[in-house]
């Protein structure tokens, strides 16, 4: 871990899990997309037209699941990342950050289904929450998944390997899923960005899967987390749109579920400079 990574407000954290936003002038935060590539492309057009040197962009997870164009969404995310990193002056790969959301966590677990003790129940739970659409986007289907689950771990292993192979056939998709972060934060401690939630009673490195499952902890925040100014999330179970509080910003307009895709431009201290809707 280099000096810049160790010098953030939380001290030394694993750079494979957490990202320090270096020398950010403004931070664009993009809410849950959920497979709506058309809204994402339209939003990228708006952000691209406003982009200035020193901007950073953080996508707050839940890119896949539910919506009509899962693989196209990831293709669009990768396209815009290439465009941003080509802008002078190039500074760091982490100027574009992708966080892990609940959809990406479930997809990861689906691809390890052979290790589940009750795979049929796991499939039921995941499919009720949007993963079926991601599976179909990569050429799989639920009936084959259930058949493999009934036939045992060896059949499940062959099935998950076939789905992995189809995902790897899409340029950059496996690397995209493997590189997702848990949270991002600014150097001055003014801003923390997460997927859906956080437990205010635990330090950042002990949050674990609360980043994508503990929406209640986020809603209960009555004071700054660890001395930070603002915590921003992109996935809200109620999909209430842009909601700002004294220490929080929530932006989930229901994209992929017949709703809007939201993004905000933030100062490093967490002030909302501009809000965009697609």
pTM of the model: 0.94
> In this predicted structure, what is the pLDDT of residue 91?
65
2: pLDDT strictly greater than 50? no
For residue 7, what are the contacts with CB-CB under 8 A and spacing of at least 6? Answer: 20, 187
Distance of CA 129 to the CA centre of its chain: 16
Q: What local confidence, expressed as pLDDT, does residue 227 receive?
A: 78
**pLDDT tens by residue, 23-40:** 999 999 999 999 999 999
d(CA 170, CA 138): 9
Per-residue model confidence as pLDDT tens digits over 95-108? 999 999 999 999 99
Q: Does the bond joining 89 to the residue before it have cis omega, within 30 degrees of 0?
A: yes
- Helix axis angle, 142-151 relative to 153-168, nearest 10°? 150
Q: Compute the distance between CA of residue 101 and CA of residue 35 in angstroms, rounded to an integer.
A: 13
Average pLDDT over residues 70-81: 98
Backbone phi and psi for residue 247, each to the nearest 5 degrees, phi listed first? -130, 10
From CA 141, how far away is CA 158, in angstroms rounded?
14
Hey, what domains does the chain have and what are their CATH numbers?
A: 3-101+180-277 (3.60.21.10), 105-168 (no CATH)
Q: pLDDT tens across 172-230, in order?
A: 999 999 999 999 999 887 899 999 999 999 999 999 999 999 999 888 888 888 877 89
Contacts of residue 167, defined as CB under 8 A and 6 or more positions apart, other chains included, come to 111, 138, 173, 174, 177
């Amino acid at each position: 871990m280099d000096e810049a990574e160790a010098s953030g407000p939380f001290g030394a954290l694993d750079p494979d899990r957490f990202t320090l936003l270096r020398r950010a002038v403004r931070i664009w935060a993009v809410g849950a997309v959920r497979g709506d590539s058309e809204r994402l492309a339209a939003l990228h057009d708006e952000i691209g037209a406003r982009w200035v040197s020193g901007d950073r962009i953080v996508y707050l997870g839940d890119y896949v699941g539910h919506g009509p164009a899962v693989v196209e969404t990831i293709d669009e995310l990768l396209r815009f990342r290439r465009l941003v990193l080509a802008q002078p002056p190039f500074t760091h790969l982490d100027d574009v950050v992708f966080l892990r959301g609940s959809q990406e966590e479930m997809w990861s677990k689906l691809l390890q289904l052979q290790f589940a003790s009750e795979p049929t129940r796991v499939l039921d739970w995941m499919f009720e929450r949007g993963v079926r659409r991601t599976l179909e986007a990569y050429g799989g289907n639920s009936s084959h998944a259930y058949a493999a689950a009934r036939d045992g771990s060896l059949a499940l292993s062959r099935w998950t390997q076939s789905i992995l192979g189809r995902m790897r056939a899409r340029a950059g998709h496996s690397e995209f899923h493997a590189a997702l972060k848990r949270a991002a934060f600014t150097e001055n401690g003014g801003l923390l960005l997460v997927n859906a939630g956080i437990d205010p009673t635990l330090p950042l490195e002990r949050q674990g899967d609360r980043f994508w499952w503990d929406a209640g902890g986020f809603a209960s925040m009555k004071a700054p987390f660890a001395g930070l100014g603002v915590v921003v999330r992109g996935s809200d179970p109620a999909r209430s749109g842009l909601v700002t509080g004294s220490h929080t910003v929530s932006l989930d307009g229901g994209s992929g579920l017949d709703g809007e895709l939201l993004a905000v431009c933030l100062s490093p201290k967490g002030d909302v400079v501009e809000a965009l809707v697609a």
